[in-house]
Amino acid sequence: MARRASRRVRRTGWRGIGVAVGASVLLFVGCYQWAETRRWGAEPQPPIAATPDRLIRVRLGGRDPRRAATAEITAFFSITDFATGRMLSERHEPLSPVTVRPAAGAGLDIGEEHFASGDLLLNPARDAAIVLEKRTYRGKLRIRRVGDGLAFDNHLDVESYLRGVLRGELPQYFHLESFKAQAVAARTYVLYQKAQAGKDRSFDVFDHEGSQVYVGVRGEDDIAIRAVAETAGEVCVWNDGRSERMFCTYYSSACGGCTQHVNNVKPHVKAVPPLFGGVACTDCSDAPFYRWGPVELTKAEATRRLVERYPDLSRLGTITELEPKARTPDGRIIRLLLIGSTGTSETLVGEDFRLSIGGRTLKSTNFDIEVRGDKFAFNNGKGFGHGVGLCQHGMEGKARRGMEYRQILKAYYPGAEIKKIY
């Protein structure tokens, strides 16, 4: 999806009224805030399959292809041409750290070896034998040439994937029930994304906050392993009156006191009852960024960041005023009017404005705006993340008060049930 208008709500002249457009993406520390593709599925997933496909394909290292990477395979492994299914090597010697790069002309170079195919699947005989850029992974590694760069995808079972997600998402001191609730939410999220990805995309999720933070084997500590094992196969579902369906289990760090409706962030998705928001939360008040600010940015810097994400905003000149056009009852900005020095304006979804400025600079959309000369000041900030669905610090507070993970999930996803699907 092109960046320029994907999240725009409407375009106006200084006093005119324009055409509605829009879209959005991103979550928090695990469903964080740089998602520009996946997480916002337009429709609920089809009814749950009798035998779910558990293979997860994780894009390692971000959206953009890499020019090269250091790889190591610490066990014997097979090499298959992924595009044709032809076996190229049934038992390749373990691979010491080598550079993987696109070959001159076509194909791939893995160390000193050249492969005519530009799409390889490496399958170690032993698990946890893949090392990419000094990080160890389970499962298989697909290396695919994309132009003059390479894409690396880790293929592995969903339960193995989750063991590498939980410690990417939560601090070790969190309660076991928090880890179990996160495991169910993360499992639901990734299986939903897999169903939405379709056959035209080569991966299901990223390994960073744009999807869920996946750190591979190094995240597999005792509490993560136990939480995944004790919730094995469990997902969040809702009943639409005909069948039980999974939904996209969005979550963020700290809701700041109340969750919000998914359509405030993503106006055009078909919302489901567990994501209607309005869940009061008194348990995240101890979160590090429950309160934040003030944050100051020059008007020139704010303009630069917005134009970097949406180049056609350059027609506004320097942005001189920011005017909230709609807020939630608890103060989150839903839509924000940008007024420029050229006499034109643009309205953005509040969350998209925040992410354009920087999701860690403006930690939520719950803030006040003040103009201080050539600067914008963002004051009285509250919460961290988009505030849709599960509140991670609220989850921890509830766990410390004695709630078990199913109760926590049902509190933040009203109307949801927990179902074991395998």
What b-and-e string marks burial along 352-391, b requiring 16 or more CB atoms within 10 Å of the CB?
bbbbbbebeebbbbbbeeeeeeeebbbeebbbbbbbbbbb
Please report which confidence band the pLDDT of residue 197 belongs to, taking 50, 70 and 90 as the band edges. Answer: confident
Q: For position 198, what pLDDT does the model report?
A: 75
The 3-state DSSP class for residue 375 equals strand
- Residues 223, 357, single domain; the answer is yes
143 and 163, same domain (yes or no): no
3-state secondary structure of 371: strand
28 has a pLDDT exceeding 90 = no
Name the residue with tokens 């492969």.
115
How far is the C-alpha of 33 from the C-alpha of 211, rounded, in Å? 9
Q: For 310-342, what is the HEC assignment?
A: CHHHHHHCCEEEEEEEEECCCCCEEEEEEEECC
Tracing tokens 């078909």 back to the chain, one arrives at: 270
Residue, of 15 and 270, whose pLDDT is higher: 270
What pTM was estimated for this model as a whole?
0.88
Length of the chain: 422
- 227 lies in a domain? yes
DSSP string covering 201-227 = -S-SEESSTTS----GGGG--HHHHHH
* Same domain flag for 214 and 321: yes
pLDDT grade, residue 407 (50/70/90)? very high
Domain boundary among 127, 147, 167: 147
The DSSP 8-state label assigned to residue 46 in this structure reads P
Mean pLDDT of the region 224-235 = 98
Q: Give the pairing type, strands 390-391 and 251-252.
A: parallel
Place of tokens 């490496």: 122
pLDDT reading at 3 higher than 70 = no
Domain-embedded: residue 18:
yes
Taking only the tens place, the pLDDT of each residue in 381-395 is 999 999 999 999 999
Instruction: Give the span between the Cα atoms of 23 and 115, in whole angstroms.
Output: 41
Locate 52 and state its tokens: 């779910």
Last residue of a domain, one of 96, 129, 147: 147
Residues 103 and 221 in one domain: no
In a domain, 167, yes or no: yes
Whether the per-residue pLDDT at 1 is higher than 50: the answer is no
Within this chain, do residues 261 and 122 fall inside the same structural domain, yes or no? no
Q: What is the pLDDT of residues 301-359, one digit of tens each?
A: 999 999 999 999 999 999 999 999 999 999 999 999 999 999 999 999 999 999 999 99
> How many whole angstroms separate alpha carbon 323 and alpha carbon 147?
43
Can you read off the two tokens belonging to residue 318?
């320097």
- The closest alpha carbon to 82, from 52, 51, 108, belongs to 108
pLDDT in tens, 77-96: 999 999 999 999 999 999 99
Number of domains in the chain: 2
What tokens does 409 get? 């999930």
Mean pLDDT of 134-140: 98
Mean pLDDT, residues 37-43: 40
Residue 2 scores a pLDDT above 80: no
Question: What's the pLDDT score for residue 344?
Answer: 97
In a domain, 6, yes or no: yes
| 210 plus 226 within the same structural domain | yes
Same domain, 245 and 315: yes
- pLDDT of 38 over the 80 cut: no
Same domain (yes/no): 97, 210: no
Q: Mean of the per-residue pLDDT values for the chain?
A: 90
Contact at 8 Å (CB) between 97 and 85? no
Q: Cβ of 47: how many Cβ atoms within 10 Å?
A: 13
| pLDDT score, position 45 | 61
Under 8 Å between Cβ of 126 and 75: yes
Question: Residue 360: is its pLDDT beyond 90?
Answer: yes
Q: Is the pLDDT of residue 17 over 60?
A: no
Q: Are residues 317 and 227 in the same domain?
A: yes
Domain that holds residue 122: 66-147
User: What pLDDT does residue 12 have?
Assistant: 39
Q: Domain end: 147, 176, 208, which one?
A: 147
Tokens of 320: 């001189």
Question: Within a domain: residue 100?
Answer: yes
The DSSP H or E segment spanning 90 is strand 87-92
In this structure, the answer to whether residues 341 and 406 fall within a common structural domain is: yes
Higher-pLDDT residue of 44 and 115 is 115
Looking at the structure, tell me whether residues 71 and 41 fall in a common domain. Answer: no
pLDDT confidence of residue 217: 98
Type of residue found at 184:
V
Asked if 245 and 117 sit in the same domain, the reply is no
pLDDT for residue 44: 57
Reading the block at residue 183, the tokens are: 């495991």
In a domain, 152, yes or no: no
